[in-house]
Amino acid sequence: MHSVKTQLTKMAKATNSLAVDVKVGPIKPGLLPQIVDIHMEAFKEYTNTKLGKGFVQSILDWFTTADDGIVLVAVRPDGQSVGYVAGATSDYHVRMNRALAFPGIAALITHPWIVLRWRFLYSLGRRGWKMVVPARVQAPSHRLASLVTIAVAPNARNLGVGDLLMDAFESECRKRGFKSIRLSVYSSNKPARLLYERRKWEAYGDLNGEQVDYRLLL
């Protein structure tokens, strides 16, 4: 089984085609629960996931309803989602954090132990910091997009779906007139960093921190 998959992947790489038949497009009604499940699996250890499915759904839903939100989904021919990417204008934090205040408080009441996790304090500090300090790249915020989250279902990884999602996100940002895109990633996240670097995203800022920032000029 494994060798068949490896062969398929090698053939797909050689022909520059995809080893799974998926199409990427804007999120359609009904797909939100599927991408919530992909997120819950991909970001198991992250604070927002530890706050529960309802909170993750509120976050992803915010990107589907915000005027500047972008949510693109990779869907198989049978209608099953295998990955998604979401983002918005880089100054989305303040608006999103306000909109998520109530779901956040509700999630904290039902998951009070979360405040003991160092990652909770770390992400709280980072969120607070981002609310007062704009992203450190050379573009006015309305021309700078943030890629906030990207994930592919475990059984669809290493088949080029991540690349397809990145292609679609970059071209959607171009279409909307953004001049550059930024993102942050945990420095230990090798698969994600390889994906960005292969696509010529450039690491910038503090390269030795817990998280590394990347940017792409469009």
Ligand X SMILES: CC(C)(COP(=O)(O)OP(=O)(O)OC[C@H]1O[C@@H](n2cnc3c(N)ncnc32)[C@H](O)[C@@H]1OP(=O)(O)O)[C@@H](O)C(=O)NCCC(=O)NCCS
C-beta of 10 vs 98, nearer to ligand X = 10
C-beta of 43 vs 108, nearer to ligand X = 43
C-beta of 134 vs 191, nearer to ligand X = 191
User: CA 163, CA 43: separation in Å to the nearest integer?
Assistant: 19
Closest CA to 25 of 165, 176, 199, 157: 165
The region of 11-19, 28-36, 170-178, 202-210 touching ligand X under the rule CB under 6 A is 11-19
Which residue from 53, 76, 126, 157 is in contact with ligand X, where contact means CB under 6 A? 157
Residue 203: how many other CB atoms lie within 10 Å = 15
Closest CA to 57 of 32, 83, 29: 32
Closest CA to 104 of 38, 148, 59, 42: 59
The CB-of-162 to ligand X minimum distance in angstroms stands at 3
Q: What three-state secondary structure class fits 65?
A: helix
188 lies in the binding site for ligand X (CB under 6 A): no
6 lies in the binding site for ligand X (CB under 6 A): no
The CB-of-114 to ligand X minimum distance in angstroms stands at 20
Which residue from 194, 202, 209, 210 is in contact with ligand X, where contact means CB under 6 A? 194
User: CA 44, CA 33: separation in Å to the nearest integer?
Assistant: 16
Q: What three-state secondary structure class fits 184?
A: strand
Which residue from 49, 160, 201, 215 is in contact with ligand X, where contact means CB under 6 A? 160
Residues that bind ligand X (CB under 6 A): 9, 12-13, 18-19, 42, 150-152, 157-163, 185, 189, 191-192, 194-195
